[in-house]
Structure 1
């Protein structure tokens, strides 16, 4: 940091004599950047497409700022899997050590096929927009409980336009004369419902209307093997409408000057479309023209004349042409044009109209989120001001060029990418042979850095996959370079982010990357923020988990201030923490480390030592989920080969006892929705959306709840008064008015105070509860009014099951040098090996080994990692298996 500030000082005081107020503002900006550090996350997964029943193995890297030093700011990562309905179906919290963590997600058999999103963030990152959380798409098919293939299209006939969905089984048989219910989802809100039947060929037609056009169709039906099936059809992805955006460099087009015009052609599915843009003058002469790359982004030079009329015409790759709205061409003002092609210098030209010329200064600052690396000024006495910025002291990554006036008001901005080869981690990966046989041992050696490096110690991870079993090799998906150097600073969806850092001609990739920055939003910096140094953060950096809530006077909303609160572990009642609640009753136990689903008791006493206190817990509310882009339909069909291969592999896992068989069909049938569940039920699926429900009329003749429920629900049995799931033979989770409580509390709840009970066992209902729903749930809703509850709720005490840290499993690694029963009888692995924690020593050396499977083909080793100086690297090694 000091060397960057020194650079600024040189430019301010050698030849320019900058005003003190400007220097003070930049110093404040630098201080603000230090107090608001940018935390970034990258998640490496073993691959990017899976099928239900498989395991996603992942490694997380947390870094700080543009220099990408491993972060110690946060000790906890939140990991979420978001399904095609924009619901969180799995979530984990993993502990970090020096910015590193690992885990795994076991994909449930009943996940619907579709494009999922793996989202990762820290509590500190919640102070910024969710656009800057780490996200990567994962393709998930289902051949375990969903053996239906779809082929989706849009057809038009004399009756109108229809979404046409062909349904057939994995064996290729049609699904004829089947009733299909559908819902239309608009941002998670159901705006239309209906039903249709497939014809004798298995074709389903849903008419396109204003209500469903471009929205998601959620289909539910029963397959020929009597299994319930859910499909999500993204109608926007069928035949996307192309929209072209014109985006001038710096945000303005100035007449009488050369301008750089960026443009982006996007389909309604959020993906780029190859398009040609032509700029025509009043005589219909072409004065500017360019074609986008395959990601729908392009740029062209444009020299507009004052008082001339121009037309922008976009022609898509299929020949369809349309007129695009002409951006404003300013006769007065400023414009910006940059040249980043020189290896040593970045050139910035600020163009001014005559009315903006004066003796006042124009400043150019190159910074990252307000942390300045370069600053200079020139008098606005000339029409064209050229700034030459040395790249030597600018770190690799995205920085922002900001043009400011004498009062430090931003006039023009533009993100720019700088890369230095020395900022990237050198990786040399070799195998002990060029090719291997089946079940043969492979030894991989790594050499990190070079002899001149101050340190060669690094944290690495490795994935080995059989490419012959993957339709998508994920060459262009997110990787550690794209995530930490680009994605973390850009707002919105980035298509194929790994493309810019894949093997090949880097000059071409850098040119495409510049088009991305010219056309995509970036993390803008508000210069006024630096005046507010003491603004309180809503979310603090966490080193551990927290349990927090409020102490209130019993039966009232008023706080019970300064109460003594204790947190007691039910595993060891002699182990406890204590604290004092605040004036408004708030208490918090933080920096806790405990395993997932740990059980605690909280007790509280007021200032007089009495336990006449209600304890309420503050629930964790996940950040908002934005709409997905780049989603696909018909994934079971597109990835049919992988799906069939996974079914064969699952048979091997079941035989080895490493995987349970699919659930029984009769245990996932959804019964009818009861209508008498109160609308204030805390069921996260919505009141009455349950496998079974009971109302107070059906319970009133019993004295206790455990007596009332015993034998009343399919798949539930009681042991010692505690409800168990017959499928998993594990205790079910009780949720009482939205509060997680212990199963043995059922006997203490008065039946007269219960309005309804809902049983959730089908994963369609339990998934929204994450780990709490793994063994099913019993949702209890009390009658309105709390008078009766005081009879059975212990005063000043509360039990809870807390969401804790997820412990990663160990990747199964067959060893064929051992006896045969140590491995698979028929080894059909797709992920051959997963090595999350590789570390190079002080000499830069690391190694690992694994065995090939029973399938020949091309295998790929993907190595990613970071060293102690923040240098990040990635390397791919391919070899053949005969």
Structure 2
């Protein structure tokens, strides 16, 4: 049976079906020259985009999904090229950030990448507020696209436990500490919900026409999605009405607030939906507007193929082109004809694509896009990682030997790079994000996807339908056709990071760029380093080649090509925190999570107690004191004798000189003339008429010219001494004294905040060099413990597990004092770019 067929008005049609771009280019000669050029342009445009943009996709494997404050988040980083999912060799640096629900970055880490792989840890402060946080990862090169492509996942942080005071405390969280933790959690949850009540939007219900067009006179598939303000779904049911309030369709969600129904709209009609389920019961939502003419693209996935139908109404029709691509690979390209009420159909085998999202686009004969549709090809499941402990259950302090075996769908062994976590089963979520969901699904979708691991955990016809509903309602975000077809090169404002660097711009006082300026870099510790670079025509600079695990401290100094230093150095602040709403912690967590959190709190109590082993635990102590005022050595007279002008209390000081501010503010002080030709006199009971006052600048005698054009904002205060008040200065003070005290000259001035023109001190964190996960050995011959074994939630973490050519590896670790069920979870990537997943359980009794 031919791949293309007409269901009505059938007549022969030319078609082209190919397995890849190369085959397509060879087959172009089968078509007329005009078709060949259009097809060639489509294929080459896609290839050029990926070759130029070189998009990257990062993923972070974590040891678990829920933490208590004070714990460590163990991370393994995988960075691949978005086109083929091969481990990336482009970037060498990955930035990881923890962002709060207030859109503030509370912690940053920089991971070193080697061949697309990296590892590190993020220590959660024990004072970290409970709540849901956003973990974000990106490379510098990814900033050329959009923050939408950054890797993000939600992480729950719960209150930490506190140790019971006293030397005889048992190894458990004190009852009063548990009560405090519960109270803190209730307050955090209540505050979060109060904030939500004030600023949250109503539930978001949206409707989407398949292919993008709701065309009159054709049966359209309309999908819908219902989420709350945080992107969390809720189940939905309701009815669709026309403008006469006649029911034309009913609908009910299948999974995750998503579903679809069929509708044949009428030209000139409008449609809206109402709902019979909370929380959307009070909403009325309009469906997309009906188009009098256009094309409808429908894709029905089956086990082995995509059944595609294309129809049009309201126009004459004509030649059409259908392109199916996955990443940089065009797997299908065909040509046909649709005229009148003809139905154009194609059956496209899924075998033409690798596993992942297929982007179908319908073009007219001139190569202009008409409709788009996303579909999923699951040709090969993720590589299976079998995790087999040596025995069904274990006791405390016993060795655990785990056999790791990686095989493909046919059972053949595969050499793979993996990371393995063994964590409390209550703190893990089998439907959470995983490497297969990230690489094959969410990397190319816009917006938050709830529980992406669900679609890969146990694929069935139902989960496949739910996945198709997701793709009907989730937008494609990798690129837009208009700039790609126009040959518009992707923006590349950021280079590839091969090392830690300092990116910034040098500007003049008016904020304009200072091109061709010289920037000097001086580092004193740990090694002395000095070099200079020149800014580009926009005043931008990049200092790279930095690294190490220590925090780098250096000084930057800028000057123009003429040697002037009145410049400002502005460092790149990095991408802004995303303005996304994060849900509060659940008020009633699952019992298994509650048990896991209690063990996490107990672990924190044990670790705190270990650090207090050589000290005495005290109850609350209140310390009161008064800060000692440091003497100002610039003044040799009693301050009570002077008339004081405090510049902090004068709003008009901004933009004025110090002499302009003094004018008319002090009785007997006369300021005349215009700067720099200005005269100052002090008239008092015992001041000699006509004599000039003594001018002091931070205690140093200067002429009046030193105060000409002196900014008032740089002055802390001015003190005026008249007659006998200035006697301590002898004859020099016969005309009175004007003592000017600058902010920078004050003994309490914080020079770390000094933004001297053209000079900037920088403090740059180094790499987050991975440390060894503490997993002690027990039994005969084991070394003596150097610290207590406090493992209660994460029992074992290994970010570098390598299976050999037989697809196998063997790991050994020991259980701790913690009892219960632990989940083994392995994730990784083969050299072919195929993701690997596996889970198992471990019982400790």
Q: TM-score range by the shorter chain?
A: 0.7 to 0.9
Shift of the 507–806 alpha-carbon distance from structure 1 to 2, 3 Å rule, reads same
> Corresponding residue for 2:642?
none
Shift of 1:368: 3.9
1:859 Cα offset (Å): 1.5
CA displacement at 1:325 relative to structure 2: 1.9
Structure 2 partner of 1:400: 359
Distance in 1 (CA, whole Å) between partners of 2:751 and 2:769 is 27
Residue in structure 1 matched with residue 470 of structure 2 by the alignment:
516
**TM-superposed deviation, 1:482:** 1.2
Which of 66, 70, 76 aligns to 1:59? It is 76
C-alpha distance in structure 2 between counterparts of 1:266 and 1:101, whole Å: 35
Q: How far 1:529 sits from its partner (Å)?
A: 2.3
Structure with max Cα Rg: 2
| Structure 1 contact 369–525 (Cα < 8 Å) conserved | no
Determine if the alignment matches structure 1 residue 822 to structure 2 residue 785. Answer: yes
2:744 pairs with one of 725, 734, 754? 754
Matched, 1:546 2:508: no
* Alpha-carbon distance in 2 for matches of 1:617, 1:561: 14
Residue 119 of structure 1: CA displacement? 0.4
Evaluate the alpha carbon distance shift between residue 364 and residue 583 of structure 1 in structure 2; reply closer, same or farther with a 3 A threshold.
Answer: closer
**Secondary structure of 1:572's aligned partner:** coil
CA distance in 2, matches of 1:867, 1:569: 44
Unaligned runs of 5+ in 1: 148-167, 181-201, 205-215, 220-230, 680-699, 705-735, 737-749, 760-777, 791-795
Displacement of 1:751 after TM fit?
A: 7.8
Alignment of 1:486-505 (within 5 A): 486-502=441-457, 504-505=458-459
Which sits farther off after the overlay, 527-536 or 128-137?
527-536
Aligned counterparts of 1:659 and 1:405: Cα–Cα separation in 2: 76
Matches within 5 A, 1:686-705: none
Pick closer, same or farther for the CA change 1:585–1:667 going to 2, 3 Å.
farther
SS in 1 for 2:436: helix
**Displacement of 1:819:** 5.7
Aligned partners of 1:447 and 1:845 also within 8 Å: yes
| 2:575 match | 623
1:347 Cα deviation after fit: 2.0
Residue from 101, 112, 122 that aligns with 1:95: 112
Does residue 834 in structure 1 map to residue 792 in structure 2?
no
Matched, 1:808 2:779: no
RMSD: 4.5
- The residue number in structure 1 matching 2:584 is 632
Distance 1:402 1:532 in 2: 18
CA contact (8 A) 1:550 1:617 kept: yes
Q: Secondary structure, in 3 states, of the residue corresponding to 1:269?
A: coil
> What residue number does 2:401 align with?
443
- For residue 258 of structure 2, what is the aligned residue in structure 1? 297
Go from structure 1 to structure 2 and tell me whether the alpha carbon gap of 1:293 and 1:757 turns closer, same or farther (over 3 Å shift). farther
Q: Is the alpha carbon distance of 1:13 and 1:449 closer, same or farther for their aligned partners in structure 2, counting shifts above 3 Å?
A: farther
Counting only pairs closer than 5 Å after superposition, residues 24-35 of structure 1 correspond to structure 2 as 24-35=41-52
SS across alignment from 1:651: helix
How far apart, in 2, do the equivalents of 1:298 and 1:669 lie? 64
Q: Once the two structures are superposed, what CA deviation does each residue of 1:83-122 show, in whole Å capped at 9, x if it has no partner?
A: 1211000001111010011111111121111001110001
The residue aligned with 1:106 is 123
Tell whether the 8 Å contact from 1:271 to 1:630 is kept in structure 2 after alignment: no
Aligned residue in 2 for 1:82: 99
Partner of 1:873: 836
In the TM superposition, residue 311 of structure 1 has moved relative to its aligned partner by: 5.4
For residues 215-268 of structure 1, give each alpha carbon's deviation from its aligned partner in whole angstroms, at most 9, with x where no partner exists.
Answer: x9996xxxxxxxxxxx77542599984442211111222233222110112223
Q: Distance in 2 between matches of 1:544 and 1:475?
A: 35
Cα 1:72–1:299 shift into 2, 3 Å? same
Q: Give 2:331's aligned residue.
A: 373
TM-score when normalising by structure 1: 0.71
Match of 2:461 among 500, 507, 510: 507
Q: CA–CA distance in 2 between the matches of 1:298 and 1:54?
A: 40
Relative to structure 2, which stretch is displaced further, 56-65 or 19-28?
19-28
Counterparts of 1:438 and 1:248 in 2: how far apart (Å)? Answer: 58
Contact map agreement 2:559 2:567 (CA 8 A) in 1: no
In structure 2, distance between residues paired with 1:553 and 1:311 = 56
TM-score with structure 2 length normalisation? Answer: 0.74
- Find the counterpart in structure 1 of residue 320 from structure 2: 362
Partner of 1:199: none
Question: Can you list the C-alpha shifts for 1:343-366, whole angstroms capped at 9, x where unaligned?
Answer: 1x212211101x3234x3111111
2:66 corresponds to which residue? 49
Among candidates 810, 816, 820, match of residue 847 of structure 1: 810
Question: What's the secondary structure of 1:9's corresponding residue?
Answer: helix
SS in 1 for 2:461: helix
Take 2:515 and 2:290, find their aligned partners in 1: how far apart are those partners? 63
User: Residue 352 of structure 1 aligns to a residue in which SS?
Assistant: strand
Partner of 2:543: 589
1:427 to 375, 379, 385: 385
Contact 1:244 1:314 in 2 (8 A): no
CA gap of 1:534–1:131, structure 2 versus 1, over 3 A, is: closer
- 1:417 pairs, out of 348, 366, 376, with 376
- Residues 286, 615 of structure 1: alpha-carbon distance in 2 compared, 3 angstrom cutoff: closer
More strand by share: 1
Taking the aligned partners of 2:624 and 2:81, their CA distance within structure 1 comes to 48
Moved more, 390-399 or 585-594: 585-594
